[in-house]
Structure 1
Amino acid sequence: MERRSFIKKSTMAASAFGLGLSGINAMPKGAFNSTLASKKFKMHFAPHLGMFKHHAGNDPIDQINFMADQGFTAFEDNNMMTRDVSLQTKIGETLAKRNMTMGVFVIQKGGNLNNTLAAGKQEYIDIFLDGCKKAVDVAKRVNAKWLTVVPGGFQRKLPIGIQDAHVIEALRRGANILEPHGLTMVLEPLSDSPDLYLQRSDQTYMICKAVNSPACKILFDIYHLQKTEGHIIRNIDLTWDEIAYFQIGDNPGRKEPTTGEINYKNIFKHIQNKGFTGILGMEHGNSVKGKEGELAVIKAYRETSDF
């Protein structure tokens, strides 16, 4: 692409939501120009590390500051438990300073398909409960309230009712650890593999009702549930009283809103009209590489939340 054409297209993308390319490109890595600050989003969208690295650089703190400068009021990091304690502490301090809310991180239990709670094996339950205990300390450092849990793989040799009972019992024990600290594990049904135990919103709703604790709720990932069941707005309504957290990704492709088939503007409006004031995690990739793609992500969220 000719340089003149690239600059023209990049300028148009930047101006669409009030950013001047000259101002952005003039910034050294890690520096933030107050003239670039955008108004806060009306909903608590939560980017993740790496989403804006071409503008902010590789330093996690600089990336969080860039998010705040663009009007984002939340942040999520699936891998928070794997990060150094010193970085966790810095992230917590930065979020507090920028008045941002910490979103989910994943309770470590060995991977999405591993150490499945549906099996009812004590060794798997112990790994999960140990993860819950360790997550409490991490949550305190970053002021987190929501912790993602994936129960694990489906057990083809066990009746589904037995698997349900195993999962419910394990989650009750996890809730007993988290509830005294005001923490909530959010169960995430996934579409990644037919071998996963938890895949549907109604199934997750049933489990939350059975666990019967404020420490066990639904993470309604719109991307995954569009793939497995569709009827997003209807299923949000059916499971509403157990939903504590949303995650976002368009389908196909799992990129930012407006790149696929999901009408996110209608969904965001519906969620807000129902009174949701929590976090919507941006758990997706960028459809375009580099700075141009990062600007496109911000533009997409401006457009889909403009109602």
Structure 2
Amino acid sequence: MNRSNFLKNSALAAGSILAGNAVLASATTSCNTNTAVAPGKPFTMNYAPHDGMFKNSAGADFLDQIRFMYDQGFRSIEDNGMSSRSPAEQEKIGNLLAKLGMAMGVFVLDKGGNGANTLAAGKQEYIDIFLKGCRQAVEVSKRCGGKLATVVPGDFARNLPLDIQNANVITALRKGAEILEPHGIVMVLEPLSDTPDLYLRTSAQTYLICKGVNSPSCKILYDMYHMQKNEGNMINNIKLTWDEIAYFQIGDNPGRNEPTTGEVNYKNIFKFLHEKGYKGVLGMEHGNSRPGKEGELRVIEAYRESDNFM
């Protein structure tokens, strides 16, 4: 499953975990009796499903899906495709989240960088596209309440020395930060594993770029699926780059599905993040390992099991 599928389907506090009682949903039980939890009880960590993850249980309407997510104990959402939604739909989503006391995780900054307009090239026309996306993100944020915008700087410009590419990316991101910072919006840079052409590959490289930009509006999105593929040793690498991380995303490997389906010990990672005091959103940027309602129930069960680390 690649990023485009998900596109279709202040900031550090944006994902604070909310206490309180949740609405009880229809029968959801864990297949592990040691992790049985009353349906609707908020999770310990702040996991954020996305549009389509529970469409068989809640229907095609994203607003109905959000209500279902709340009923199951989730207290945040993320929506990569928020920028492409109509302003009216963005406002409806933002209003519902505010009513339910839910947080908005990341949305992808429109034209935030890709192979067609890589920021590493240093070309003004690419920078202009990126800055237009930053200005748009301010308006999207006002409507949906989201304060985190994903940015991918695009591909390597292989005709340029690497340090020149680094300087080009830092220069462009500083200009973007100038637009976003007054509004409390954070662009989160995401190193990816999709192709070897992508400029951002590791957490250490992204850490260096964030230090170079030197703005509270430029931080790391640590996607654990991609980082397991690119570098592994995740807990140690999270420790090394901790002060620049603003957001995490989840996906087991191989398969990019819910926790418990691959090789990553998410229960240990969630425990580590909890002990580190992370209060932000953890985006569920993955697919369901099984189809239909059964698969959606299994996603909820997997998070109940992995969240049972106390």
Does the pair score TM above 0.5? Answer: yes
| Correspondence for 2:253 among 251, 254, 258 | 251
- 1:120-172: CA deviations, max 9, x gaps? 00000000000000110001101111100000011111100000000000000
**Which letter does structure 1 place at the counterpart of 2:188?**
V
- Please point out which of 254, 273, 276 is paired with 2:275: 273
What's the counterpart of residue 155 of structure 2? Answer: 153
Deviations 1:244-292 (A, max 9, x none): 0000000000000000000000000001100100010000000000000
How far did residue 108 of structure 1 move? 1.1
CA RMSD of aligned residues (A): 1.4
Letter in 2 for 1:204: T
Q: Does the CA contact (< 8 Å) of 1:51 and 1:286 recur in 2?
A: yes
Task: Using the TM superposition, give the Cα deviation of residue 114 of structure 1 relative to its aligned residue in structure 2, in angstroms.
Answer: 2.2
- Structure 1, unmatched stretches of 5+, are 1-12, 19-35
- Within 5 Å, give how 1:128-147 maps onto structure 2: 128-147=130-149
Is residue 2:78 matched to residue 1:76?
yes
Q: Find 2:116's aligned residue among 98, 114, 117.
A: 114
Question: Cα distance, 1:113 vs. partner?
Answer: 2.1
Contact 1:184 1:217 in 2 (8 A): yes
Contact 2:51 / 2:65 at 8 angstroms: preserved in 1?
Answer: yes
Return the offset for 1:111.
5.9
Any residues of structure 2 matched to 1:210-229 within 5 Å, and which?
210-229=212-231
The counterpart of 1:181, out of the listed 180, 183, 186, is 183
- Matches of 1:254 and 1:237, distance apart in 2: 23
Contact 1:17–1:302 (Cα < 8 Å) also in 2: no
For 1:180, the aligned partner's letter is: P
Aligned match for 1:16, one of 11, 18, 30: 30
The equivalences for 1:56-95 within 5 A come to: 56-95=58-97
1:220·1:245 contact (CA, 8 Å) conserved in 2? yes
Structure 2 length normalisation: TM-score? Answer: 0.88
> Deviation at 1:15?
2.5
1:82 and 1:58 map into 2 onto residues whose CA distance is 17
The alpha-carbon distance between structure 1 residues 182 and 17, as it changes in their structure 2 partners (threshold 3 A), is: farther
Which residue of structure 2 aligns with residue 297 of structure 1?
299
Structure 2 gaps of 5+ residues are: 1-26, 33-37
Higher gyration radius (CA): 1
Shift of 1:219: 0.2
The verdict on how the C-alpha distance between 1:133 and 1:110 changes in structure 2, with shifts beyond 3 A counting, is closer
Aligned to 1:39: 41
- Structure 1 stretches of at least 4 aligned residues deviating more than 4 Å after TM superposition: none
Q: 2:103 corresponds to which residue?
A: 101
- Aligned residues between the structures: 278
Q: TM-score with structure 1 length normalisation?
A: 0.89
State the alpha-carbon separation in 1 of the partners of residues 308 and 250 from structure 2: 17
**What is the CA distance between 1:112 and its match in structure 2?**
3.1
Q: Shift of the alpha carbon at 1:72?
A: 0.2
Mapped to 2, the partners of 1:205 and 1:93 lie a distance apart of 34
Paired-residue identity, %: 67
Q: Cα deviation per residue 1:216-259 (whole Å; 9 max; x = unaligned)? A: 00000000000000000000000000000000000000000000
Aligned equivalents of 2:187 and 2:112: distance in 1? 16
Shift, 1:294, TM fit: 0.2
Could you list the per-position Cα deviations for residues 62-117 of structure 1 after superposition, in whole angstroms to 9, with x for gaps in the alignment?
00000000000000000000001111010000000111000000001176322000
